[in-house]
Chains A and B, each alone.
Chain A
Amino acid sequence: MNSEREYRIEMKAMSKSFGGIHALKNVSFSVKPGEIHCLVGENGAGKSTLMKILSGAYRMDSGSIKVDGEDVKITSPLHAIQLGIGIVYQEFELADELSVAENIFLESLRKKSIINWKKLYADADEIVREIGFEIDTSIRTGSLSVAYKQIVEISKVISKNIKILILDEPTAVLNDKEAEVLFGLLRRLRERDVSIIYISHRLEEVFKIGDTITTLRDGEITGVNPVKEMTIERIIELMIGRKLADIYPKRDVVIGEEGLRVEGFSNGNVYQDISFTARKGEVLGISGLVGSGRTEVARAIFGADRRRSGNVYLDGKMVNLNSTVKAVRSSVALIPENRKEQGLVPDLNIKQNITITDMGKVTNSFGVISDKKEVSIATKLAGMLKIKAESVETSVFSLSGGNQQKVVISKWFNTEAKVIIMDEPTRGVDVGAKSEIYRLINELAAEGNVVIFISSEMMELMGMCDRLLVMSEGRIKGELSKEKFSEKNIMQLILGGQ
Chain B
Amino acid sequence: MKNSSMKKSINWLSLFKENITVIVMLILFVVSSLLSENFLTSQNIFNLLRQLTPPTLIAMGMLFVILTGGIDLSVGSVVAMASVFTAHLLRTQHLIVTLFLVLLAAAAFGAFNGYLVAKRRLAPFVVTLAGMTIARGIAFIVSRGMPERVRNQFLLDFANNNFLGIPLIVWFALVVVVILVLIHKFTVFGRFVQAVGSNETAVKLSGINSNIYKIGVYVLSSVLAAIGGIIIASRVGMGSPLAGEAMELSAIAAVVIGGASLSGGRGRVINTLMGVWVLGMIGNIMNLLNVPSYPQQVFQGIIIIIAVLLQSDRKGKDIQSSSNR
A359, B1: Cα distance in complex, Å: 33
- Interface residues contributed by chain B, number (CB under 8 Å): 33
A36, B208: Cα distance in complex, Å: 47
Among B2, B203, B204, B323, contact of A89 (Cβ-Cβ < 8 Å): B323
Residue pair A336, B205 in contact (C-beta under 8 Å):
yes
User: Is A363 engaged at the interface, CB distance under 8 Å to the other chain?
Assistant: yes
A342, B203: Cα distance in complex, Å: 8
Q: Which residues of A contact B202 (CB under 8 A)?
A: 341-345
Chain A interface bracket (under 10, 10 to 19, 20 to 34, 35 or more):
35 or more
If A48-B324, A325-B209, A343-B205 touch, does A23 touch B198 (CB 8 Å cutoff)?
no
Residue pair B208, A324 in contact (C-beta under 8 Å):
yes
Give the shortest distance, in Å, between B16 (CB) and chain A (any CB).
Answer: 18
Q: Which residues of B contact A397 (CB under 8 A)?
A: 322, 325
User: Is B187 engaged at the interface, CB distance under 8 Å to the other chain?
Assistant: yes
As a 0/1 sequence over residues 184 to 217 of chain B, the CB contacts with chain A under 8 angstroms (1 = contact) are 0011110100110111011111111100000000
Q: List 7 tightest A-B contacts by C-beta distance, closest first.
A: A19-B6, A328-B207, A20-B3, A19-B3, A347-B198, A347-B265, A367-B188
Among B204, B209, B324, contact of A304 (Cβ-Cβ < 8 Å): B204
Q: Which residues of B contact A352 (CB under 8 A)?
A: 191, 195
As a 0/1 sequence over residues 44 to 85 of chain A, the CB contacts with chain B under 8 angstroms (1 = contact) are 100010001000011000000000000000000000000000
Q: Which residues of B contact A302 (CB under 8 A)?
A: 205
Chain B residue with the shortest CB-CB distance to A414: B206
Residue pair A21, B1 in contact (C-beta under 8 Å):
yes
- B307-325 interface with A by 8 A CB criterion: 320, 322-325
Residue pair B203, A345 in contact (C-beta under 8 Å):
yes
Query: A327-B207, A347-B198, A356-B191 provided; 4 other pairs, C-beta below 8 A?
Result: A48-B324, A325-B209, A341-B201, A345-B265
Residue pair B194, A348 in contact (C-beta under 8 Å):
yes
User: Is A401 engaged at the interface, CB distance under 8 Å to the other chain?
Assistant: yes
Q: Which residues of B contact A341 (CB under 8 A)?
A: 199, 201-202
Give the shortest distance, in Å, between A404 (CB) and chain B (any CB).
Answer: 8
As a 0/1 sequence over residues 48 to 59 of chain B, the CB contacts with chain A under 8 angstroms (1 = contact) are 000000000000
Residue pair A21, B2 in contact (C-beta under 8 Å):
yes
Residue pair A19, B5 in contact (C-beta under 8 Å):
yes
A413, B251: Cα distance in complex, Å: 42
Q: Which residues of B contact A366 (CB under 8 A)?
A: 187
User: Is A411 engaged at the interface, CB distance under 8 Å to the other chain?
Assistant: yes
User: Is A91 engaged at the interface, CB distance under 8 Å to the other chain?
Assistant: yes
Residue pair A359, B4 in contact (C-beta under 8 Å):
no
A369, B195: Cα distance in complex, Å: 15
A72, B70: Cα distance in complex, Å: 50
Give the shortest distance, in Å, between B280 (CB) and chain A (any CB).
Answer: 28
Give the shortest distance, in Å, between A177 (CB) and chain B (any CB).
Answer: 28
User: Is B7 engaged at the interface, CB distance under 8 Å to the other chain?
Assistant: yes
Which residues of A come within 8 Å of B, CB atoms? 18-21, 23, 44, 48, 52, 57-58, 89, 91, 302, 304, 323-325, 327-329, 334, 336, 341-348, 352, 356-357, 359, 363, 366-369, 371, 397, 400-401, 411
Among B3, B4, B195, contact of A356 (Cβ-Cβ < 8 Å): B195
A449, B84: Cα distance in complex, Å: 60
Residue pair B199, A345 in contact (C-beta under 8 Å):
yes
User: Is B149 engaged at the interface, CB distance under 8 Å to the other chain?
Assistant: no
User: Is B266 engaged at the interface, CB distance under 8 Å to the other chain?
Assistant: yes
Give the shortest distance, in Å, between B209 (CB) and chain A (any CB).
Answer: 5
Residue pair A357, B207 in contact (C-beta under 8 Å):
yes
A341, B200: Cα distance in complex, Å: 9
If A57-B320, A342-B201, A345-B195 touch, does A18 touch B206 (CB 8 Å cutoff)?
no
If A44-B1, A89-B323 touch, does A348 touch B206 (CB 8 Å cutoff)?
no
Among B7, B194, B201, B323, contact of A19 (Cβ-Cβ < 8 Å): B7
A397, B203: Cα distance in complex, Å: 17
Q: Which residues of B contact A401 (CB under 8 A)?
A: 325
Among B187, B198, B205, contact of A346 (Cβ-Cβ < 8 Å): B198
20 contacts between A and B (CB under 8 A): A18-B6, A19-B5, A20-B4, A20-B6, A52-B324, A324-B208, A325-B209, A327-B207, A334-B205, A341-B199, A341-B202, A343-B202, A344-B202, A345-B202, A345-B203, A346-B265, A347-B265, A348-B191, A348-B195, A356-B206
